[in-house]
C-alpha cells in the first residue's frame, strides 16, 4: 500500500484529556504559549480534525490578540481582559489547549456581576498585517475624550448623560461612589434647578455606574 498523506476527517467535538471538557467549533479556548512566562493564548476554534481512527486531533483556530501583541501596544483605554479578534488563523495540536474561556461582547462584559479568570471581551477586530482595527472609530467619553475602559469607575452626568472619570472632575473614587447626584460643569446650573424640584419625582437611582449600557455618541474619530 502506498504511503501518502493520511486521510483526515472533520469531527464535531472532542474532549481533550487534559481539560476533560468537550470542545466544539465556536468555543473559545486558552492555549499554552510558546514561552511559559507569557500569558496563555486566547483562540476561537474554527473546526476540529482527526485521522480516520479519531487520533492525532488538531484544531483550526483563529487567534485573539492581546493589546500588547498589537502594533500600537496597550493603550490606556484597553481593559485588562480585552482581546482583539485577529485575521490570523493557525493549526494547533489539541494537546496545547489548557482550558475553555468566554470572550464576551463589550456590552455583555460590562453587565457581568463578577469577572472571572476565564472572562474576556472583544470590541475590535484586528488586522495582523496592517495593524488596523475594525471598527476604526469608537465612542469617547469624559473631558479627556477617551474611549471607555470597563475597568475604570465612571460617573454619569444626569444632565447630558456623558460619563466622567472621577480624577477628571477632581474627585476621588471613594467620593464618586457615594454620590447621589452628579451634574458636570456644563450642566451644573440647570442641574441645581432640577434638583430643587426633584424631591417627589426623582427617577435617578444613585449617581454612579461602573459600566455603560449603551454607546451613546460618536463625536470624535478614534485615537486607536
Contact footprint for Zn ion (CB under 5 A):
142, 144, 157, 159-160, 165, 168, 184, 187
Q: For Zn ion, which is the closer residue by CB, 57 or 140?
A: 140
Question: Cβ 185 to Zn ion, closest distance in Å?
Answer: 8
Phi, psi at 191, each rounded to 5°: -65, -40
The Cα–Cα gap between 95 and 162 comes to 47
Q: For Zn ion, which is the closer residue by CB, 160 or 215?
A: 160
Q: For Zn ion, which is the closer residue by CB, 132 or 160?
A: 160
Residue 95's Cβ-side half-sphere holds a number of Cα atoms within 13 Å equal to: 3
Q: For Zn ion, which is the closer residue by CB, 60 or 181?
A: 181
Question: Cβ 190 to Zn ion, closest distance in Å?
Answer: 9
Question: Cβ 206 to Zn ion, closest distance in Å?
Answer: 17
Residues 50 and 9: beta-carbon distance below 8 Å: yes
Which cell is 83 given?
A: 482581546
Contacts of 13 (CB under 8 A, 6+ apart): 22, 23, 24, 48
Question: Cβ 143 to Zn ion, closest distance in Å?
Answer: 6
Amino acid at each position: 500500500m502506498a504511503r501518502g498523506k493520511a486521510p483526515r476527517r472533520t469531527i464535531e467535538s472532542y474532549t481533550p484529556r487534559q481539560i476533560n471538557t468537550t470542545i466544539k467549533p465556536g468555543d473559545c479556548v486558552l492555549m499554552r504559549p510558546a514561552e511559559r512566562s507569557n500569558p496563555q493564548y486566547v483562540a476561537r476554534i474554527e473546526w476540529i480534525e482527526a485521522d480516520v481512527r479519531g487520533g492525532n486531533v488538531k484544531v483550526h483556530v483563529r487567534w485573539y490578540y492581546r493589546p500588547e501583541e498589537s502594533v500600537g501596544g496597550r493603550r490606556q483605554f484597553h481593559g485588562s481582559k480585552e482581546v482583539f479578534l485577529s485575521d490570523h488563523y493557525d493549526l494547533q495540536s489539541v494537546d496545547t489547549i489548557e482550558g475553555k474561556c468566554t470572550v464576551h461582547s463589550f456590552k455583555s462584559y460590562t453587565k457581568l456581576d463578577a469577572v472571572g479568570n476565564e472572562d474576556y471581551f472583544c470590541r475590535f477586530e484586528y488586522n495582523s498585517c496592517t495593524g488596523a482595527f475594525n471598527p476604526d472609530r469608537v465612542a469617547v467619553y469624559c473631558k479627556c475624550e477617551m474611549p471607555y475602559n470597563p475597568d475604570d469607575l465612571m460617573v454619569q452626568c444626569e444632565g447630558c448623560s456623558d460619563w466622567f472619570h472621577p480624577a477628571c472632575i477632581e474627585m476621588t473614587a471613594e467620593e464618586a461612589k457615594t454620590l447621589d447626584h452628579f451634574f458636570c460643569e456644563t450642566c451644573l446650573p440647570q442641574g441645581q434647578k432640577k434638583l430643587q424640584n426633584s424631591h417627589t419625582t426623582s427617577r435617578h437611582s444613585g449617581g454612579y455606574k461602573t459600566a455603560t449600557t449603551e454607546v451613546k455618541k460618536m463625536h470624535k474619530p478614534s485615537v486607536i
